[in-house]
Amino acid sequence: MLVTYVLGDCPGCKQQNSFGNVNVCGDHVLRGCMRCRYSQSILLPAVRKKVIYLDQFFFSGAFRGGDDRFVRAAERIQKLAADQLLVAPFSSIHEDETHLWPRFGELYPFIKSASRGAEFKQSSEVDRFQLHRAFMRWQQNGPADQQPELSDALKPGHVSNWDSYFRIEVGGYHGDAELLARLKLESVEGLVDLFPGWRESQNTFDQDVDAEYNAAAKGYMDAYLEFMVGVGGGDYMALFDSPVMSMVVQGLLAQLPEETPPDERLRQCARFLDSQHFKSCAHQWLRAHMYATLKAQVKAGSYANRERALGRLSGVFFDVSHISTYAPYVDAFIMDQPMAELVSHRGVRLSERYGTRVFSLNNWPELFAWFDELENSMTDEHRQGLRDAYPRRVEMSLPLVKSMSEQSTRPDPLRVRYRAHLGDAMRQIVLFGSTLDQAIKAVKVPEVDIAAFNNLLNSELEHLEAYNCARHCLPMGKTQDWIDKGRPH
């Protein structure tokens, strides 16, 4: 067997230093020998990890550095994830939005590392699951309200299984980043340009909500009809390059009996898209109420300054997509302040409707209190499971974590000025074996600051661990190898 962590001599063949952990397999650790076929299975205690969704603004803040609030939160999240108490999956929306960043190649691996391989299902797939279930209930005259099912958005194993040592990553296609960024800006500008008309509107909140539902239903139907016209006119490439939403109505039609005439099928779909069952789908409900609430905020006087509105709402379409798709399935959601204010508005009340804890810079201390609750919930049996499953795991005591969280959030000017230099120097040492002097020389710190930078670098290397290495874009495996060698520098 391929032994990942050698624990000692094999109980079977007695070969020295050949027996150890092969992998963590859901609810047990597989142990074996690299010479003979002897093996053991060590059962692990049941886990139910809390699910947290990290909005793009959080990753951006933690990745840029300089703001210790995000860095400390990222370290706590990584520690809780390593302790099998928390999972922070990434989503297709993360991937789409991150691709617009100039440093996409650095930020996206950081997001994947924080997720520990856990991934939400595609946003279009989550929407499809909700709609198909609602359509079945509508056909059966069942109740309109439905509770979101975790399996719609996330494989249950990400919550109930202990993390494996290995994960496989598959690359994907990304469009023209410059084009997408320009379209994003134009979309936000177009939205803000609507605000003067919204302020003059006499529509009630409920009428604005209904307008959003109607626009969504029309979008699905128009996309399907455009697809059918294309195929009917001989454009068979429409089968491959039509938008995903053009297949939503097609999927609903497939659930109707084959003997139903085509015209009647389409009418039934149209009636469903106008029903309370459609409007009660979590994605549709949240999306409609979030945009209607944004209109209510504008009518009440918010976002009066166009330039400031463009800045505060620069990612509004991605934010609404993040929240309306995944918030109903998670225990906690970290988002920016404008979105936190919007989802707490009486028109949405996300926490009341779906039980999702909302954290932003408005209530940052509550986030750390929640982290403490999770850490304090760990049982002795769970701690033993960690020792069995991850023998090279380095534990960090709760008092030290609290000490970190109580430090001043004012960033060290030297650290801010040389954040990039610091990361480069640490990568030189950990990844390429450079000495301290060689690394400092390579990053070209001005002579006047070399002594102070030397002290800062030494401190960072002393406190570098596998669970906090992502702040310097260091891979966990190579960081742990460097630690095991005695932190040479």
DSSP 316-362: HHHHHHHHHHHGGG-SEEE--HHHHHHHHSTTT-HHHHH--EEE-GG
Phi/psi of residue 31, nearest 5 degrees: -115, 145
Output the pLDDT for position 235. Answer: 79
Amino acid making up residue 72:
R
- What is residue 186's predicted lDDT score, i.e. its pLDDT? 81
Instruction: Write out the chain's pLDDT in tens, 489 residues.
Output: 889 889 999 999 999 999 999 999 999 999 999 999 999 999 999 999 999 998 877 877 776 656 788 888 888 988 999 999 999 998 877 766 666 555 556 666 667 777 888 888 988 899 999 999 999 999 999 999 888 889 999 988 899 999 998 776 655 545 555 655 666 678 888 999 999 999 999 999 999 999 999 999 999 999 888 888 888 888 777 777 777 888 889 899 998 988 899 899 999 999 999 999 999 999 999 999 999 999 999 999 999 998 888 888 888 888 898 899 999 999 999 998 999 999 999 999 999 999 999 999 999 999 999 999 999 999 999 999 999 999 876 443 333 333 333 333 345 677 667 777 888 888 889 988 999 889 888 888 888 888 888 888 888 888 787 656 656 667 767 888 888 888 898
Contact 297, 342 (CB under 8 A): yes
What is the total residue count of the chain? 489
C-alpha span between 131 and 233 (Å, rounded): 29
- Nearest CA to 470 among 4, 6, 90, 7? 90
Q: What is the pLDDT of residue 292?
A: 96
What is the pTM assigned to this prediction? 0.74
Per-residue pLDDT, 410? 45
Residues 6+ apart with CB under 8 A from 70: 58, 61, 62, 64
pLDDT at position 399, please? 36
Q: Quick check: 185 and 391 in contact, CB under 8 A?
A: no
pLDDT number for residue 403? 33
Residue 258, Cβ density class (10 Å: 0-12 exposed, 13-18 middle, ≥19 buried): exposed
Q: What string of H, E and C letters represents the secondary structure of 239-288?
A: HHHCCHHHHHHHHHHCCCCCCCCHHHHHHHHHHHCCCHHHHCCHHHHHHH
End-to-end Cα separation, the chain, in angstroms = 34
Residue 94 and residue 323 in contact, taking contact as beta carbons nearer than 8 Å: no
Task: Note the pLDDT of residue 397.
Answer: 35
Q: Assess contact for 466 and 483: CB atoms under 8 A.
A: yes
CA 299 to CA 294: how far, in whole Å? 9
- Please name the helix (run of DSSP H) or strand (run of DSSP E) that holds residue 376, with its range, or none: helix 364-376
Q: What is the pLDDT of residue 473?
A: 65
